[in-house]
């Protein structure tokens, strides 16, 4: 049985969602940031042996505690090669993932899915039926990107739509009103970016100007898009 523990953390500016994915005995962290004590207390109180850290991309708010956990717990950190180079990730136990090349951390099997767009080396991780999507896909939308990034992001969303089973649950790096853990079937209905079939239209919509209330398109909620990244 795989369990997902959500940690809502902040540095006073960014609000992030990082995760501990674990079974009864061991677990892996995804994008740990800001609150080392909160995360460590949960791990220790539940008797979980931390086996590694997975990074969805190289932005600071997603890698903030990766080095500390790697050093203090003596565990590897996994990233794409592109973001490892771009963001100069120099962890002594750095490991690189490859698209759809399954690997195990302890007894937990992981499928990395390269999903460029938000960054060139963004990765989603499929663990059991759980998809940890970083800033590639939110429940309410998708991550910030350039025009070139939007073209890649369209391809990434299309791949996820075609590759993932209907019961897959999404756990993004941020939320803007909707709780994480929604199914891809839910996103197909309520996330407008999952409805585009034209790359040109997707790019135009994602890169349009004055996106102050972008998420109203989907959920009719006044959510500021400035930090959807």
CA distance 184 to 190: 10
Total domain count, the chain: 1
- Rounded to 5°, angle at Cα 148 from 99 and 95: 30
Whether 215 is in a domain gets the answer: yes
Whether 158 is in a domain gets the answer: yes
Extended strands (E) in 42-147: 49-54, 77-80, 94-97, 103-105, 108-114, 123-127, 130-134
DSSP 180: S
Whether 151 is in a domain gets the answer: yes
Tell me the pLDDT band of 211, cut-offs 50, 70 and 90. confident
What pLDDT is attached to residue 212?
Answer: 58
Whether 189 is in a domain gets the answer: yes
Whether 229 is in a domain gets the answer: no
Q: Mean pLDDT, to the nearest integer, of 116-142?
A: 97
Q: Which residues 6+ apart lie within 8 Å of 189 measured at CB?
A: none
Whether 74 is in a domain gets the answer: yes
Whether 41 is in a domain gets the answer: yes
- pTM beyond 0.95: no
Q: Assign 82 to helix, strand or coil.
A: helix
What pLDDT is attached to residue 214?
Answer: 42
What pLDDT is attached to residue 225?
Answer: 36
Nearest by Cα to 187 from 142, 227, 224: 142
- Residue 166: CATH number of its domain: 3.60.15.10
Provide the domain limits for residue 206.
Answer: 3-219
CA distance 93 to 77: 6
Please determine, for residue 10, whether its predicted confidence score (pLDDT) is greater than 80: yes
pLDDT, mean over the chain: 91
The residues with which 94 forms a beta bridge, in sequence order, are 77
Please determine, for residue 224, whether its predicted confidence score (pLDDT) is greater than 60: no
Query: Where is average pLDDT lowest: 145-154, 155-164, 176-185, 217-226?
Result: 217-226
Nearest by Cα to 134 from 77, 199, 144: 144
Tell me the pLDDT band of 167, cut-offs 50, 70 and 90. very high
Task: Give residue-wise pLDDT tens across range 63-121.
Answer: 999 999 999 999 999 999 999 999 999 999 999 999 999 999 999 999 999 999 999 99
Share of the chain above pLDDT 90, in %: 86
Please provide the size of the chain in residues.
229
Task: Give residue-wise pLDDT tens across range 16-62.
Answer: 999 999 999 999 999 999 999 999 999 999 999 999 999 999 999 99
Phi, psi (deg, nearest 5) at residue 216: -65, -25
Share of the chain above pLDDT 70, in %: 92
Q: Mean pLDDT, to the nearest integer, of 158-176?
A: 96
Whether 46 is in a domain gets the answer: yes
* Helix axes of 199-206 and 147-163: crossing angle, nearest 10 degrees: 120
């Amino acid at each position: 049985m795989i369990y997902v523990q959500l940690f809502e953390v902040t540095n006073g500016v960014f609000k992030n969602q990082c995760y501990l994915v674990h079974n009864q005995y061991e677990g892996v962290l995804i994008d740990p940031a800001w609150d080392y004590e909160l995360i460590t207390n949960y791990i220790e109180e539940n008797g979980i042996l931390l086996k590694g850290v997975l990074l969805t991309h190289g932005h600071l708010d997603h890698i903030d505690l990766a080095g500390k956990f790697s050093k203090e717990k003596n565990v590897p950190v996994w990233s794409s090669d592109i973001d490892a180079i771009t963001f100069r990730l120099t962890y002594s136990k750095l490991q690189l993932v490859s698209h759809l090349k399954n690997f195990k951390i302890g007894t937990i099997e992981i499928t990395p899915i390269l999903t460029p767009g938000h960054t060139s080396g963004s990765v989603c991780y499929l663990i059991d039926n759980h998809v940890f999507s970083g800033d590639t896909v939110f429940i309410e939308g998708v991550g910030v990107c350039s025009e070139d990034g939007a073209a890649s992001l369209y391809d990434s969303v299309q791949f996820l739509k075609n590759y993932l089973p209907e019961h897959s649950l999404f756990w993004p790096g941020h939320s803007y009103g909707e709780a994480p853990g929604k199914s891809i079937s839910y996103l197909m209905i309520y996330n407008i970016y999952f409805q585009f079939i034209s790359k040109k239209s997707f790019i135009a919509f994602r890169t349009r100007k004055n996106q102050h209330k972008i998420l109203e398109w989907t959920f009719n909620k006044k959510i500021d898009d400035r930090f959807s990244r």
